[in-house]
Structure 1
């Protein structure tokens, strides 16, 4: 496995978060492995399958964990053992840790008080309005849906008007309307010149919000760039398909003649095809089958899991 990062495009803005050779291990388990990246203003997506190390990296950026090696700076200041950093940094963690007996207004106002804001109530009202939670602000959080609880936590992270916002899987549990509203909020924050970094395991989700994407796989940084370049890196990888037909042997012979096919294996229940070009193969397949006098019964991608897609980026 290589540690080379595929640079899909240069950073678009000046650096606000600097991660310099950071590793973090827990006993014999390496959760984050020698990551170097720079995050500028605007919205950046931290993309990777579950278990890739995204949560650990966000906790390191927020100063909740100490790096085993390397350093992290936010606005040129170290985050570890630096409480002053929380004046300009907001964090929404993935785990649910809000007090259900509080209302959203009480939670957000208490957070404003902890930040020693001059007018905690008005700051709480502003943050609650930003996440469109006003009509339910005085209900106990225990009565909320998961999406509403998530919005309350986002409001608490925004109450002190941070320049940097870190969110771990912020769209989990939200219905389509709530997701759209949060996406619009993150867009606005990015356009205002803030730095927003959020994690997700869904490429389409990240593409809708982020100008830049950082891809993590197995604790490593696998690729970095804008979403169009990352999409190209993913779709241009080799693909495998499982096909079943009226005559698998004839189909296999016909497919071997295609330039987009790098290998064919006959299996007990069909044909395994390795395609070097996804688009060219899928376009040529119908005519190749027709020319061989074969009827296709099934065409299934054999390697479309997130893990296989991301692992290709680091040569795994």
Structure 2
């Protein structure tokens, strides 16, 4: 069971004050002649934001700059209007889970989280450490050395270290790496609860399914550049130059298929055991015409659903452009 405080919040207490906002303005970072991030601007506010991109796209570099561990070569990164770089006070509001291992293998899980609580100068470090360990369901292994943890257990203890001071902002770099399905579901549930409390949570991933399950809002980074921002379904619908695939079920799929082909409102129609797979060129035109075509053919529509309205479709398109 996940431990909750008397306030009922997943993180122990709901954030106080105004919601926190991270703002990146024309941020770049280069190493010699290598440009890792190039002119990225974005805002990250309350809720869950997915930072999506292939390996090597610059996601970790962006998160390190948001966390104050890396200076922008140009541009600015601010938290609630205050620059993060060389601002130790920002860490009272930030919790970071880096992709690389950041725990000391010779310490037990409890010793590590307790040390983090003391570094934050919390008034009751022992209670804070126990609460954070409970949130990630690691009580059973708290007295074991971190060096004996599995990859998934190390990920969870890193998450506990980010939560120990109950920050309103969380930066999570590939947080689900190495977790088994149960661990992933538990962490997803925790992230969703914390977002519902008003926290600002950004997590990076190259796994489309993870982002699609947690975040309706995405920021896409491709080759160090900001490729897209917004609701991935809306982004998909803006791709008017790409075919849109629909699954259509009706009272008479064969008759409807013949009517769609005769109407010319789709590029292709395929009859499958799940219904009709229709490839439409113009998303808006097809969704407007289909009910009319079905009515004229005297066929009742049962289901019309986009078969490619997924992050996989969005991501493939953005990487190719």
TM-score normalized by structure 2?
A: 0.71
How many equivalent residue pairs? 252
Contact preservation (8 Å) 1:91, 1:167? yes
For 1:20, the equivalent position in structure 2 comes to 25
Whole-angstrom CA distance in 2 between matches of 1:146 and 1:178: 11
2:68 to 63, 67, 82: 63
Moved more, 208-217 or 118-127: 208-217
Coordinate RMSD, CA, aligned: 2.9
Where does residue 205 of structure 1 map in the other structure? 210
Alignment of 1:120 onto 2:117: no
Please state how far the C-alpha of 1:15 moved relative to its aligned partner: 6.5
The DSSP-based 3-state class of the residue aligned with 1:193 is: coil
2:8 corresponds to: none
2:254 counterpart residue number? none
- On the 8 A contact 1:15/1:38 being kept in 2, the answer is no
**Shift of residue 310, structure 1, vs aligned partner:** 3.8
Please name the residue that 1:149 is paired with: 154
**Alignment of 1:313 onto 2:299:** no
Q: For 1:232 and 1:184, how far apart are their aligned partners in 2? A: 29
Distance 1:107 1:230 in 2: 42
- For the residues of structure 2 that align with 1:208 and 1:201, how far apart are their CA atoms? 13
Matching residue of 1:75: 80
Contact 1:43 1:187 in 2 (8 A): yes
* Contact kept? 2:19, 2:200, Cα under 8 Å: no
Q: Which secondary structure state, in structure 1, belongs to the residue aligned with residue 21 of structure 2?
A: strand
**2:291 aligns to what?**
none
Q: What is the alpha-carbon distance in structure 2 between the residues aligned to residue 73 and residue 93 of structure 1?
A: 19
Q: Indicate the SS of the match to 2:144.
A: coil
Q: Stretches of 4+ moved more than 3 A in 1?
A: 230-234, 236-239, 258-262, 275-278, 308-312
Tell me the residue number matched to 1:36.
41
Distance 1:72 1:152 in 2: 27
Separation in structure 2 between the aligned mates of residue 184 and residue 61 of structure 1, nearest angstrom: 24
Do the aligned residues in 1 keep the contact of 2:20 with 2:200 (CA within 8 Å)? no
Structure 2 residue runs without a partner (length 5+): 1-17, 244-263, 269-279, 287-310
Superposed, which structure 2 residues align to 1:1-316 within 5 Å?
Answer: 16-232=21-237, 238=242, 310=315, 312-313=317-318, 316=321
TM-score (norm 1): 0.72
Paired residues of 2:20 and 2:169 also in contact (CA < 8 A): no
- 1:211 Cα deviation from its structure 2 partner: 3.3
User: Matched residues in 1 for 2:123 and 2:203: separation?
Assistant: 29
Q: Mind listing any 5+ residue stretches in structure 1 that lack a counterpart?
A: 1-12, 240-257, 263-274, 281-304
Q: 1:178-198 CA deviation, whole Å, 9 max, x = no partner?
A: 000000010011000110100
